[in-house]
Structure 1
């Protein structure tokens, strides 16, 4: 394992959700990262030539915040990419996705919209999934206002966001919603029964541990059935007709095998899938582009797959 990854894991261990009480979790949810030299060094800064605009979209029960990223120099209707941030359905916000979303906007030449869905444990499943689907439908319906093409739409997300991107793809198919051309699933959590062998293999991995996975799952579901397809997309009774997918996994990730298994079930029904495992990387490595040496490669792969699907 890369030395920088080991050091990063040690530095972040005290921030583990598994050790947080309710008050610490509440404070963590209220924390906004912002941009300064230190955070930009760790998390990456906004790509040059991209304009950020904050607004709202329709959620399940009311408006949810969104952030739109658009290349300043681009003209004409652009492809639309809708992003769902990670954080175990419990943490994370729009700031945490700035590096990824702005770089996708700049590289793909797309309008990227990031959705700030309601978080657990204050809002249990299916709040996040329903917010994300409602926002997707709303944003696609208003694509013209954003200078985007409603016929060229992709979704993406990392970790819990990958779960939500996969769930939204299922929901759009099942509900005759927006046509999605591609789903970018970055180390996605797709099995909330926690049955992947990698959970034990990487139980004490840096960044995310098995204990963290269980706490995040329990915050989100609160005892509800983990095999519900929009909670665990792996258990959908039918995966046919879903968008082509890129599934990116990390070697030292407790939920690494979630991604492998999801790629297998998609391929089994004829859905085009590219599966890439990043050797030596932990869960969440794309969130630390200055410290994790594989982050630029993973970003380049994600952008290339999206650009091809949205051409």
Structure 2
């Protein structure tokens, strides 16, 4: 049997059948919220749909599922602000861990296909990472499509990087210790920030953490076919996002989207996190391979029983707790803290 035959046989199967039990509980909670499929929504409707973060909050209120955040995470203080974008200002949220600085800094970009979601939907990840990496995390919003198509979000991300480099000391941070991080479309922005910093002669990130990144224009990859009907992200949703963000089909060849075709040399040490039940898994795998080929130090971990969006679900999903520990140890190592191989 050929690979094409195998993939054809997967069509119609439920890829979430082999999800971890706690992951299935989140998917069940999301289903109870009755979201309309994003690919069937107008953009305005899509932005109002229940999210996986809503499902986690719902689950935490149910008997037997209640989970408490670690004290270190509860101690993180956050404040909303605005920062310069490429065409005006954008919302941002600054997360500060307990203790005295100066702290390392991490610039974080949320997901949502460059179209939906905001700082509130993606509050959990930067809050947890601030505590675990003992760093100030700045979650930077950006202009979204289709109102602002490619490269608007990327230009805002570049502006956010320039701002954090210039403002590190006034934020209580160490200007010599700044990293970048993102989830999904935000991970795409994060690695493009590192590329932009290299090419523009700006201070480079010490480290980049790429959580299930959008990294190629290949929509017939193994993971796209395996997970064409997955939840909470499937193939039709990804096509909906892409069609909203591009100006024309030529944009699909842009290295901003097809990152695996970009020059990836001289980028900072990188961690890549992927999920088994995710159309974007192959993107992350290919990107890790291309980074290694370019001489970049890369660590990649795949969480086979997890779905897209799992990373911020640490209160209720073990794989998220494991992945956050993996990422934060790598960040602390990059900042000169506990080496990854010596961490408890």
1:59-78 map, 5 Å: 59-73=85-99, 75-78=100-103
1:42-121 map, 5 Å: 47-73=73-99, 75-121=100-146
Which residue of the partner structure matches residue 25 of structure 1?
Answer: 46
Tell which deviates more after alignment, 215-224 or 204-213.
215-224
Which residue of the partner structure matches residue 177 of structure 1?
Answer: 202
Task: Give distance in 2, aligned partners of 1:87 and 1:59.
Answer: 19
1:76-225 map, 5 Å: 76-224=101-249, 225=251
Which residue of the partner structure matches residue 273 of structure 1?
Answer: 298
Which residue of the partner structure matches residue 332 of structure 2?
Answer: 307
Task: Give distance in 1, aligned partners of 2:180 and 2:289.
Answer: 20
Which residue of the partner structure matches residue 254 of structure 1?
Answer: 279
- Do the aligned partners of 1:44 and 1:99 also contact (CA within 8 Å) in 2? no
Tell which deviates more after alignment, 167-176 or 8-17.
8-17
- Do the aligned partners of 1:43 and 1:289 also contact (CA within 8 Å) in 2? no
Select 1:233's aligned residue among 251, 254, 259: 259
Q: 1:304 to 1:15 in 2, by over 3 A?
A: farther
Which residue of the partner structure matches residue 20 of structure 2?
Answer: 2
Task: Give distance in 2, aligned partners of 1:176 and 1:26.
Answer: 37
Equivalent residue of 2:120, what SS? helix
How far residue 195 of structure 1 moved from its aligned partner, in angstroms, is 4.4
Task: Give distance in 2, aligned partners of 1:215 and 1:171.
Answer: 27
Coordinate RMSD, CA, aligned = 2.4
How far residue 77 of structure 1 moved from its aligned partner, in angstroms, is 1.5
Give the count of matched residue pairs: 306
Task: Give distance in 1, aligned partners of 2:297 and 2:286.
Answer: 14
For the pair 1:16 / 2:37, whether they are aligned, the reply is: yes
Which deviations, in whole Å up to 9, do the C-alpha atoms of 1:235-269 show, x marking residues without a partner?
Answer: 11x21101111001111111101000000011011
Task: Give distance in 2, aligned partners of 1:308 and 1:3.
Answer: 32
Task: Give distance in 1, aligned partners of 2:257 and 2:180.
Answer: 17
- Do the aligned partners of 1:8 and 1:207 also contact (CA within 8 Å) in 2? no
Which deviations, in whole Å up to 9, do the C-alpha atoms of 1:262-289 show, x marking residues without a partner?
Answer: 0001101110000101121111111323
Where does the alignment leave 5 or more consecutive residues of structure 2 unmatched?
Answer: 1-18, 337-344
Taking structure 1 as the reference length, the TM-score comes to 0.91
Task: Give distance in 1, aligned partners of 2:68 and 2:119.
Answer: 14
Q: 1:282 to 1:244 in 2, by over 3 A?
A: same
Where does the alignment leave 5 or more consecutive residues of structure 1 unmatched?
Answer: none
Taking structure 2 as the reference length, the TM-score comes to 0.82
Equivalent residue of 1:95, what SS? coil
